[in-house]
Amino acid sequence: MLYTRKGDSGTTKDFKSGSGERTSKSSCQNESLGALDELNSFLGLVKVKSATVTWTVRGNITGKISVQSPCDTIHWIQNCLFSVQAEVAGADKKISKGEVTKMESIIDAMEADMPPIKTFFISGGSELAALFDISRTLARTAERRLIAAVTAGEIILAPATLAFINRLSSLMYALARYSNHTAGIIEQPPTYQ
């Protein structure tokens, strides 16, 4: 059944409230879960939009890394986000340090293949770049919500989870830039009028 009526009063329960205690849907913990869900759902759209894209990324250490599609990277991120959501909800699931290292390797490989960043860029260019830019902002919102929940003492997150969620907006930015780079679109800096 898709509904239980138990949340009609504005409360919900998580994995750690085994006593049956319910919490407000507006708690910092639940705001975090909602922000992560929003990001993960939007990444589903980006995955569909990137399904026909193929990149070959030249890494700075490993030579050439063939990336069949950014779709594969997005799917991996979505799986990782489910682990983050489970941890936030109180389940015994965590992001590993290896996942953070993998993310950093993806960012480093793309960054080595593009011109260095010397300024801010106006979002847009290709449709895929614009979608990754929205994903970047959603990732930052999710990070802020998670930090608020940690600061409020509502959740405890493993160091690797905090590192993963902090790197996520950087990965989205790298994917946005790389989308434009591979499409031959030159990034436009703001003019600050």
Note whether 75 and 47 are within 8 A (CB). yes
Residue among 41, 182, 171 nearest 125 (CA): 182
Note whether 164 and 99 are within 8 A (CB). yes
pLDDT at res. 14: 62
- At 115, the pLDDT band (50, 70, 90 cuts) reads confident
In the predicted model, what is the mean pLDDT of the chain? 86
Q: Is residue 188 part of a domain?
A: no
Residue of 149 and 22 predicted with greater confidence: 149
Q: Is residue 19 part of a domain?
A: no
Owning domain of residue 153: 28-182
94: helix, strand or coil? coil
- Over residues 131-153, mean pLDDT: 97
Q: Is residue 91 part of a domain?
A: yes
Query: Helices in the chain by DSSP H: which ranges?
Result: 28-49, 70-88, 97-112, 127-151, 159-182
Q: Is residue 192 part of a domain?
A: no
Q: Is residue 71 part of a domain?
A: yes
pLDDT at res. 63: 54
Q: Summarize pLDDT for 65-111 with one digit per residue, the tens.
A: 555 579 999 999 999 999 999 999 989 999 999 999 999 999 988 88
Q: Is residue 149 part of a domain?
A: yes
Lowest mean pLDDT among 49-53, 147-151, 162-166, 186-190: 186-190
Q: Summarize pLDDT for 164-187 with one digit per residue, the tens.
A: 999 999 999 999 999 999 889 888
Residue of 113 and 74 predicted with greater confidence: 74
Q: How many domains, the chain?
A: 1
Residue among 167, 155, 4 nearest 91 (CA): 155
Torsion of CA 6, 10, 12, 17, to 10 degrees: -110
* CATH number assigned to the domain comprising residue 138: 1.20.1200.10
Residue of 60 and 183 predicted with greater confidence: 183
Q: Is residue 56 part of a domain?
A: yes
